Structure 1
Amino acid sequence: MKNKLSDLNDHLFAQMERLGDEALSDDEIDKEAKRADAIVSVAEQIIKNADLQLKAATLLAGHGYHFAPHLSNIAPSAERKALAQGDGK
């Protein structure tokens, strides 16, 4: 799965369009509202994860890449090793 934050944006706007459909019955509106709640819940977690990754990148950019080996979740191990050796991007 190769989703991007732009895909999340598309999903959120698509859900807004479904919620704004004036042809929906009361039951369909309730169903879409529950679906929207679930989408928002997942979206919040995705956004928190992206924020954490941004903070890690900011830490590395501001304080050097010698921290990279200790940040195991921001880059694959080969990339972390290269970053720690100063060969990173």
Structure 2
Amino acid sequence: MKNKLSDLNDHLFMQLERLGEEDLTSEQVEKEVARSEAIVSVGDQIIRNAALQIKAAEMMVNHGAFVKRHMKSFPMIEGVKDEG
């Protein structure tokens, strides 16, 4: 996957710039506000997902093999491999 959290940051700032354009009509402002709400909603989910991945990594560091054997049932978490 090519997207990174820095890309999300770029999208948020680009949207902020669009909202700040002074020559928008009221209809265009409404569209940009709706677009902003959608971007923020998706962005929030991306950030929650990243926080969960960090928490999983912290658990691996702090608790090692004990946690790893339980995390094998969550193959969507990167870095957890079945070793046997």
Report TM bin, short chain. Answer: 0.7 to 0.9
Equivalent in the alignment of 2:67: 67
Relative to structure 1, the CA distance from residue 75 to residue 66 in structure 2 (aligned partners, 3 Å threshold; closer, same or farther) is farther
Measure the CA separation in 1 of the matches of 2:69 and 2:9. Answer: 32
The Cα shift of 1:80 comes to 1.8
Query: 1:54 aligns to what?
Result: 54
Q: How does 1:24-39 map to 2 (within 5 A)?
A: 24-39=24-39
- Which secondary structure does the structure 1 equivalent of 2:81 belong to? helix
Q: 4+ runs of 1 displaced by more than 2 Å?
A: 65-73
Q: What code does the residue aligned with 2:39 have? A: I
Distance apart, 1:69 and its partner CA: 4.1
% of aligned pairs identical? Answer: 52
TM-score using structure 1 length: 0.80
Size of the aligned set, in residue pairs, is 81
Q: Which runs of 5+ in 1 are unaligned?
A: none
Amino acid at match of 1:81: D
Q: CA deviation at 1:5?
A: 0.4
RMSD: 1.8
| Structure 1 position 36, deviation (Å) | 0.2
Q: 1:2 to 1:66 in 2, by over 3 A?
A: farther
Uncovered stretches (5+) of structure 2, i.e. residues with no partner:
none
| AA at the equivalent of 2:7 | D
